[in-house]
Structure 1
């Protein structure tokens, strides 16, 4: 009887082992199938939060990219109040579609030139560590204005990594509600030209020339609560849509995408699965 139980136990172990192997192989196959839908590049994508935000603001979007098997390579770049950059994590030399989550210690810094310098410092750090030549950008809220200032100041510096694709979410390009704009005060025409230009919008109009001829693709995402404010509750649609006029016909590809309803609220946009999926497809899906 004892031998019989031993044989039964061995048989159960064999069955369980076989099931584990089959499940593992199936998961590996599914991962491979999903991965073939995306490019297998080494261009890093940098995510930048908005005013008062942190790397946590980027967590949902990055997690969606991981869940869709776009990448398994994610690190965080911390920028101190003094502008010093520390990388948490490490990319392998053959890292596929690596992602860098940025976190600014001084996350309420209103000096755009200082913010732009900090963003440049992250790129220089990545360039030194990984020899990167180009990058993608994803920004939320004021992070987009920081990046616009970066491109204005450093966008023509050929010694730096060059922008390939950018995704703007709830961009504050021409103001913020209840700060320098009231509800439904400013409109944009079909070209994205605003009826009034708030600082530093006029200074950013040089972006059209900086982007020209560089084959940069742009996805501009914004939210409308559908409550009559034509805004996401914090940023007007006109402020976000005014990016179109700043860039003109210079990008290789420019697309606007409006989300509607409660899930299109300003801070909910970076927690919105549809938004995450759209930016993932835009950045990495094969044509």
Structure 2
């Protein structure tokens, strides 16, 4: 009789726990969308200038909540360029998510970061033998990837870029940058080329003929609707110039988000952006 009493108490406690919201029943039952695609291809997240481990984590968390991917590793790049990794990629075909964190995130040197990115990709490739990878980058993280591709896009010994999400890409200029005023107001030609080219754009222009042909690109940018024609940091025209740089890609699409949640730093945490990114990466 006593045993049955404890059994009933335990069962009642479990029911209360579920109803209390600590572990919602809907969350326990939630499954991935029927049209979700799963593979071994890792998705690498690159934060921007001044970023940290928390910068891209909300987006990673959103993907996990939607059951579309699994956070498997966080790789910290120390100030002395050594790597510190937490977590391990073990399961197969689970859309692994890897957060790369540059502890010295204000060095403002995408070329340096790109060299480290190559080391990381080589390390991951040696460990897990994947053939393709995705990238989600914010702000200067896009410049890091661009630098990497300038030097490695045709290297057959490395995995190839599969899907690329650019959020607030500085493709021509940024507000407050040296000599960027005219470039930030530069209208674009039909092919996406700015009529006034910044040093940044000229440096990356080689990508127009070398960008990986098999890659699919989603370009996301913000518009505060405050007359600045920008997200407060990156002009719309600058972000849209990515179309020219990635014109060799298998596909290119762009989407503008507006309002206060389209501000430069908030953009990567915008719920609508999260949904758009997830659909492009894992449901499209």
Deviates further, 193-202 or 265-274: 193-202
Alignment of 1:93-108 (within 5 A): 93-94=91-92, 96-108=94-106
Q: Which runs of 5+ in 2 are unaligned?
A: none
> What are the superposed Cα offsets for residues 194-238 of structure 1, whole Å, 9 maximum, x if unpaired?
1211113123222122235x3210000000000111000011001
Which of 140, 151, 154 is the matching residue for 2:152? Answer: 154
Q: Would the alpha carbon gap of residues 81 and 10 (structure 1) be closer, same or farther in structure 2, given more than 3 Å must change? A: closer
**Match in the other structure for 2:234:** 235
Structure 2 Cα separation of the partners of residues 87 and 18 of structure 1: 36
**Match in the other structure for 1:255:** 253
Q: Which runs of 5+ in 1 are unaligned?
A: none
Structure 1 Cα separation of the partners of residues 76 and 56 of structure 2: 13
**Match in the other structure for 1:222:** 221
Alignment of 1:36-185 (within 5 A): 36-94=34-92, 96-179=94-177, 180-182=179-181, 185=185
Q: Is the 1:46–1:102 Cα contact (8 Å) retained in structure 2?
A: yes
> What are the superposed Cα offsets for residues 104-141 of structure 1, whole Å, 9 maximum, x if unpaired?
12212223321110111110121122222211000000
**Match in the other structure for 1:196:** 196
Structure 1 Cα separation of the partners of residues 59 and 27 of structure 2: 23
Structure 2 Cα separation of the partners of residues 181 and 28 of structure 1: 47
Structure number with larger C-alpha Rg: 1
Q: Would the alpha carbon gap of residues 15 and 87 (structure 1) be closer, same or farther in structure 2, given more than 3 Å must change? A: closer
Structure 1 Cα separation of the partners of residues 28 and 192 of structure 2: 45
Structure 2 Cα separation of the partners of residues 71 and 94 of structure 1: 11
Structure 1 Cα separation of the partners of residues 258 and 197 of structure 2: 25
Q: TM-score, normalised by structure 2?
A: 0.89
1:206 aligns with 2:202: no
Q: Is the 1:54–1:102 Cα contact (8 Å) retained in structure 2?
A: no
Superposition CA RMSD, Å:
2.6
